Amino acid sequence: MKSDNIIKLLPYGPEFLFVDKLTIISSERVDGYYTFKKDEYFYKSHFKNNPVTPGVILIECMAQIGLVCMGIYLLNSEEVSVKTTVAFSNSQVDFLIPVFPGEKVNVVSEKVYFRFNKLKCKVKMFNEKGELVAKGELSGMIKKYEK
């Protein structure tokens, strides 16, 4: 399944989509990136006059690229594109440095396991300088559904 098709299957609207491109996708690993636009809605009120990307948004970006995209890949074959539903179940993330408006981040995720529709991944986020921004483990339930 092509990465553009995976992004189209993500269950998020444009205001809450934190995936620009997937650069690697396999049953064991996914890499992708997102650039936080300077006019993102959350910068207006998060540390007025000194905006910083909220940790919960960084986790969301990590989860969309590192967990949900991999889950969609694992549930789809080359010929079939199915809708999925996601229930985020757990996160343990350490934040090391801030992400500011306009910064591009790269997310690298490695599958720990996928069984009984539960996916667990080790996920890291890097900035454009290659510095580690955040790292941790994310897990969730990934299921197919039909219209």
Residue 8, CA distances (Å) to 19, 63, 67, 108 in order: 10, 16, 15, 20
> What confidence category does residue 114 fall into, taking pLDDT thresholds of 50, 70 and 90?
very high
Whether the per-residue pLDDT at 118 is higher than 60: the answer is yes
> What confidence category does residue 65 fall into, taking pLDDT thresholds of 50, 70 and 90?
very high
Whether the per-residue pLDDT at 127 is higher than 80: the answer is yes
Is the pTM higher than 0.85? The answer reads yes
The CATH class, in words, for 3-145 is alpha beta
Whether the per-residue pLDDT at 87 is higher than 90: the answer is no
Question: What number of CA atoms fall less than 13 Å from residue 52's CA on the CB side?
Answer: 9
**What pLDDT is attached to residue 143?**
77
**What pLDDT is attached to residue 147?**
55
> What confidence category does residue 89 fall into, taking pLDDT thresholds of 50, 70 and 90?
confident
Whether the per-residue pLDDT at 79 is higher than 60: the answer is no
**What pLDDT is attached to residue 78?**
45
**What pLDDT is attached to residue 105?**
98
SS3 of 60, please? Answer: helix
Placement of tokens 């989860």 in the chain? 63
Q: How many CB atoms lie within 10 A of CB 37?
A: 10
Domain boundaries along the sequence of the chain: 3-145
What would the pLDDT profile of 15-28 be if each residue is shown by its tens digit? 999 999 999 999 99
Contact 140, 66 (CB under 8 A): no
Share of the chain above pLDDT 90, in %: 71
